[in-house]
């Protein structure tokens, strides 16, 4: 059985905050504002997994008024979501994610992001796609007021792939 989830996460860019995307700290004069580390890429992926499992949104599991999640590492939040996924006998089929940010350029950081995500999700880096695009000076992305990320995940019930292989033989 397959399940699909999708999500979008948006955070404001502010001076005095770290820019962390995909678990990678990126040198920049602006960072993402949020209760946790505000890693919108990992938040979108986490929430897409929750959506595929029909478990609600990220805020229902990690509320922004809970001091335990103040400045939380979003890799840890993703890890918790992956544990929920595994408890329901699902695994990542693939992740397709998009970062929307005017600058800095994401290309030098994407492989590290993919590796971080694959490591926490216990899947191959080949199952994780991360892309980036700019706002071309349009809207809140283009005016560098904020950044966003979108993610779609495909989950597959564990053991299903082996069943198909047996049927093909």
100-159 pLDDT, tens digit each: 999 999 999 999 999 999 999 999 999 999 999 999 999 999 999 999 999 999 999 987
Copy the structure tokens of residue 73.
Answer: 């590492």
pTM score of the predicted model: 0.92
Q: How many helices and strands, by DSSP H and E, does the chain display?
A: 6, 7
pLDDT in tens, 65-75: 888 888 789 99
Is 61 annotated to bind ligand?
no
The answer on whether 100 is annotated among ligand-binding residues is no
Q: Is 2 labeled as ligand-binding?
A: no
- The response to whether 107 counts as a known ligand-binding position is yes
Q: Is 114 annotated as a binding residue?
A: no
Q: Is the pLDDT of residue 164 over 70?
A: no
Residue 11: count of CB within 10 angstroms of its CB? 20
Residue 167 assigned to a binding site: no
Sheet holding 2-15, edge to edge: 30-32, 2-15, 146-157, 90-100, 128-133
Annotated ligand binding at 143? The verdict is yes
Has 94 been labeled as part of a binding site?
no
45 is in an annotated binding site: no
Question: Alpha-carbon distance 73 to 69, whole Å?
Answer: 8
Q: How far apart are the first and last CA of the chain?
A: 20
> How far apart are alpha carbons 37 and 165 in whole angstroms?
42
Residue 96 marked ligand-binding: no
- Does 101 carry a binding-site annotation? yes
Whether 60 has a binding-site annotation, put simply, is no
Domains annotated for the chain, with CATH where assigned, are: 2-157 (3.30.1330.50)
How many C-beta atoms lie closer than 10 Å to residue 28's C-beta?
Answer: 16
Residue 79, annotated as binding a ligand? no
112 neighbors 80 (Cβ within 8 angstroms): no
């Amino acid at each position: 059985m397959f399940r699909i989830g999708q999500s979008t996460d948006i955070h404001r860019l502010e001076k005095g905050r770290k820019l962390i995307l995909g678990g990678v700290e990126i040198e920049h004069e602006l960072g993402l504002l949020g209760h946790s580390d505000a890693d919108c890429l990992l938040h979108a992926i986490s929430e897409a997994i929750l959506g595929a499992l029909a478990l609600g949104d990220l805020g229902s599991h990690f509320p922004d008024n809970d001091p335990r999640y103040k400045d939380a590492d979003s890799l840890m939040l993703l890890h918790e979501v992956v544990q929920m996924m595994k408890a329901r006998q699902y695994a990542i089929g693939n992740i397709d994610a998009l970062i929307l940010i005017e600058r800095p350029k994401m290309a030098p950081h994407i492989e590290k992001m993919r590796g971080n995500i694959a490591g926490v999700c216990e899947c191959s880096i080949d199952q994780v796609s991360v892309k980036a695009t700019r706002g071309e000076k349009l809207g809140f992305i283009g005016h560098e007021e904020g950044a966003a990320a979108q993610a779609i995940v495909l989950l597959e019930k564990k053991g299903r792939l082996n069943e198909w292989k047996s049927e093909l033989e």
